[in-house]
Structure 1
Amino acid sequence: MKTLYAVEHFEKFIDTLNLKGILQYDYFVNWAKVLNNIEPIEKELNLLNTAVGKENIEELLFNIFKEYPKTIKALPALLAIRDKSVNILIDKTNYIHKHFNFKQKKFSDSDIDSLVDFVMKSGLGELIKNKQIKSLPDYCTGVEVGLDSNGRKNRGGTQMEQLVESFVAILCHEHELEYLAQANAKKIKETWNIELQVDKSSRIIDFVIYRKQDSKLFFIEVNFYSGGGSKLKSTATEYIEMSRFWKNQDVEFIWVTDGKGWSNTQNPLKDYFERGNLLINIDMLQNGYLEKIIL
């Protein structure tokens, strides 16, 4: 394993960084999630759609809300919010708020008037009236796609984990090793009866490999950085301490990371490596470096 700590190893790591990314087709939109969010309010959206292009939209909305109060639950989705109630600041001078609850059980005429006023003042009502929104179900699908784009960062991390797990699973299958994904100390204790001290009760390890012939544990943390920023430095600093903490319990810590973000942020990575910590990238996974560490 000595070669894994040599200067040449770090140089190879930098030279073989994945600069193209690991995006897969399912990275862009989680369509199942989008459609699942639309399905429970699809009927309500179609009812509200009858108001599109109508001049007397406020009267129509009042009648729809009154006759079909369940349509009110569709308003947050149309306004791209996940909350089921909101507080609107209606008087900035006196700091007065008005509360809107879209899921209350009963709505009085006064409540419905306020909700119609809410739709109009939010700007949504005018868009519906002027047919700038021609189909509320289609519009809502677009809103959900936009909200789902916030999950791309997590999907990028998940795709890196899936990629690494493919190597971990094959390695363990071929060499009679065992592994857990997303494991904490409690799960490790339940699975292999190994007691570990933890620095954080909520600490989750991306992958834990168990070499049963000598009861040796290997912890693997995984990430991919397509861009730079302070996060890279803070992660490297965190993993220096994490590696030290696990080594004190005879657990080998392996950091699998990649991405062009490291091209211009090498110093934190080098600091981690020069302290005798294990570091590999995707190219190294493909070339058997995980086997060199564990077997």
Structure 2
Amino acid sequence: MDRNFNQWLSTFRSSINSYKYYVDFEKVKENADKVKVELNMLNALVGEQNIEQAFESIVAKYPTVIQCLPILLAVRKNQIYCQDENGAVNYTFAKNKTMTVEQYKYFLRETGLFKMLQTSDIKNLYDYCIGVEVGLDSNARKNRGGHQMEDLLERYIKKTGAQYFKEMKLSEIEKKWDVDLSAISAEGKTEKRWDFVVKTSKQIYVFETNFYTGGGSKLNETARSYKMIAEESKHCEGVTFVWVTDGKGWVSARNNLNETFNVMDNLYNITDLENGVLEKLFR
């Protein structure tokens, strides 16, 4: 039965964010625990009026506390560059302090950390660090988002019970199953890594998948590129190219996607996966 492109496009999702997308709390706790001992030592500075002298005493006894100072500024690096009218300094925060205590005091004074520790309502620096790590972890959402569509597709492939492989190179497929993919590889001149490869008793399915929340020229390039692969793969006996994509970003690039839709039998979205398209495909 012929598919209707506009109807198919209307089922595209605005988001595929999972519950684990927003914050990786296991990673947050793991990062905070790395400096938990040092943070607890620095708790003595909270509300301390003679804070600079107290800091000197702590560093003298426990120099490793220096390594946890960057996280108090929401920085994970062990080097921080600062400059003012007195010059530029590249502060280092190794376990064994490599700078003078006076330099570290200047750093805490000028960044406002001393004042924050003296006057804020913070009661525990470990708890404070947990909050900082949650904020920093939100920056990793883009990386997690990039894998969400792959994870989603993998769940549906697993449900079929078919044998599959992740991130498999074109040359590896040729070698493993003795098939000719030269039509796709430009006679062996180019290498390609597929997101998934499924092997059934009758066919090899090579998968690409992506999700686009926003538009842009990249979508048009992707549609044209996959259209070409779809046409080239028709000359590869025993191999079928499958593209699973979704996302409202395609609305602005609908024309190029429509062209690919018209020539590619195995172009699917999330709704197709939910409706069991892979079970039917692998029969």
The TM-score normalised by the length of structure 1 is 0.80
* CA RMSD, 1 decimal: 3.0
Q: Deviations over 1:69-111 (max 9, x none)?
A: 111111122211222213323459xxx5312111163435xx2
Aligned to 1:34: 28
Identity %: 37
1:85-143 per-residue CA deviation (whole Å, 9 max, x = no partner) reads: 13323459xxx5312111163435xx221112112212222111112433211111111
Of the structure 1 ranges 285-294 and 251-260, higher mean CA displacement relative to structure 2 is found in 285-294
Query: What are the Cα deviations for residues 46-76 of structure 1, in whole angstroms up to 9, with x where unaligned?
Result: 1111101112222222222222111111112
Give the aligned residue type for 2:269.
N
Q: Indicate conservation of the 8 Å contact 1:52/1:128, yes or no.
A: yes
Pairwise CA distance, 1:144: 0.5
Mark the runs of 5 or more structure 1 residues left unpaired by the alignment.
Answer: none
Say whether the 8 Å CA contact 1:90–1:98 is kept in structure 2.
no
Q: 1:82 to 1:244 in 2, by over 3 A?
A: farther
> Aligned to 2:47, what secondary structure does the other structure show?
coil
| Amino acid in structure 2 at the alignment position of 1:178 | Q
| 1:152-171 equivalence runs, <5 A | 152-171=141-160
Aligned to 1:289: 277
Is 2:49–2:118's contact at 8 Å kept on the other side of the alignment? yes
C-alpha distance in 2, partners of 1:44/1:262? Answer: 49
The letter for the 1-side match of 2:212 is Y
Assess, with a 3 A threshold, how the Cα gap between structure 1 residues 123 and 164 changes in structure 2: closer, same or farther: same
Match of 2:107 in 1: 118
Equivalent of residue 63 in structure 1, options 43, 49, 57:
57
Contact 1:225–1:258, Cα closer than 8 Å, also in 2: yes
Matches within 5 A, 1:262-281: 262-276=250-264, 278-281=266-269
Task: Work out the number of aligned pairs and report it.
Answer: 277
| 1:15 corresponds to 2:10 | yes
1:219 is aligned to: 206
Cα distance change on mapping 1:218 and 1:45 into 2, 3 Å? same
Is 1:255 the counterpart of 2:243? The answer is yes
Equivalents in 2 of 1:195, 1:98: separation in Å? 59
Q: Does 1:148 align with 2:133?
A: no
Partner Cα separation in structure 2 for residue 38 and residue 157 of structure 1: 25
Report if aligned partners of 1:38, 1:141 keep a CA contact under 8 Å in 2. yes
Structure with larger RCO (C-alpha < 8 A, sep 6+): 1
Give 3-state SS (helix, strand or coil) of 2:251's partner: helix
1:83 to 77, 81, 97: 77
User: Normalising to structure 2: TM-score of the pair?
Assistant: 0.83
Which consecutive residues of structure 2, in runs of 5 or more, have no partner in the other structure? none
Residues 106, 123 of structure 1: CA spacing in aligned structure 2 closer, same or farther, 3 A cutoff?
closer
Is the 8 Å Cα contact of residues 81 and 89 (structure 2) preserved in structure 1? yes
Q: Which residue of 1 aligns with 2:45?
A: 51
Partner of 1:100: 91
Query: Which amino acid in 1 is paired with 2:240?
Result: E
Name the structure 1 match of 2:19: 25
